[in-house]
Amino acid sequence: MLFAFDDRSSDSPFIERVWRCHSLHAGSFRSIASPHWEMVITRHHGCSMFTLRGPETRPTFAEVPAEGAWFGIRFRLGTFMPGLPVARLIDRQDVNLPVVSGHSFWLNGAEWEYPDFDTAETFVARLVKRGFIARDPAIEAVLAGDDQALSVRSVQRHFLHATGMTHGTYRQIARARHATQLLKAGASILDTVHEAGFFDQSHLARSLKRLIGQTPGGVMREEEQLSFLYKTASGA
């Protein structure tokens, strides 16, 4: 294992998950496709950095230093920053905010103290109150299966604005992540094809290679360290 990892759910309508981890040694891992964006605080050798990290539509490798520590706020789909389109952050186009000190950073013309694992909700609530973070309720309606809420064109427009990707791309990523969870939990390839809604084994293999970076067999054998998979339902 490369990390010691801890996470929790959140009762905030804006936050999907709060997590923290530290590296056990230097190394690398495969960051897999994810539809969510995050705020991440990195601490390493006495230095701190606040990063806005966007969704990922393809797998990439990430290097990890020894003795590093991270804390992250992962936002629910449909949460966005009105002043910074999610599309500008997508696929590792991360934005590092100016550092004021080891305890604070600069955001939208003001100094902010770093949040932590226990104060994430309070921090996000302050950002919402200042108008720096907002939600698009149409995304929640679509994910809940309300097909009558919006036209197909409106769905695509809302998804692009709030998530930086199309609804179809989101569904493909969610299905691939769900399949990866099943395989890691011990499901057979054939059962995974059926459970995750793929046409056949070839369809599953192509999807995982493109979005996870591994074959189904490679996932089952745990050939590489993957980024953490939250246990969420398939979006397919």
pLDDT digits (tens, 9 = 90+) for 178-193: 999 999 999 999 999 9
Largest CA distance in the chain: 54
CB 62 within 8 A of CB 29: yes
**Confidence label for 102 from pLDDT (cuts 50, 70 and 90):** confident
State the Cα–Cα distance between residues 232 and 68, nearest whole angstrom. Answer: 27
Q: Same domain for 116 and 173?
A: no
Higher model confidence: residue 230 or residue 101?
Answer: 101
CB 211 within 8 A of CB 33: yes
Q: Determine, yes or no, domain membership for 122.
A: yes
Handedness of CA 14, 210, 193, 190 (dihedral sign): negative
State the Cα–Cα distance between residues 7 and 194, nearest whole angstrom. Answer: 30
Kind of pairing between the strands at 27-31 and 60-64: antiparallel
Q: Same domain for 124 and 179?
A: no
pLDDT at position 115 over 80? yes
Q: Same domain for 15 and 121?
A: yes
pLDDT at 231: 55
In the numeric block, the tokens 């769900």 are attached to 178
Q: Same domain for 61 and 10?
A: yes
Range of 180's domain? 167-221
Average pLDDT over residues 149-172: 86
Beta bridge partners of 180: none
Token reading at 226: 């993957």
Average pLDDT over residues 69-90: 95
Helix/strand/coil for 122: helix
Task: Compute CA distances 4 → 45, 59, 68, 75, 192, whole Å.
Answer: 18, 22, 11, 22, 28
Handedness of CA 62, 17, 75, 154 (dihedral sign): positive
Within 13 Å, how many C-alpha atoms sit on residue 183's CB side?
27
Q: Same domain for 109 and 175?
A: no
Q: Determine, yes or no, domain membership for 63.
A: yes
pLDDT at 222: 87
Q: What does pLDDT average to over the chain?
A: 91
Q: Same domain for 108 and 175?
A: no
Q: Determine, yes or no, domain membership for 31.
A: yes
Q: Same domain for 109 and 191?
A: no
Q: Same domain for 108 and 202?
A: no
User: What total of structural domains would you count in the chain?
Assistant: 2
Handedness of CA 118, 178, 171, 173 (dihedral sign): positive
% the chain with pLDDT above 70: 94
Q: Determine, yes or no, domain membership for 47.
A: yes
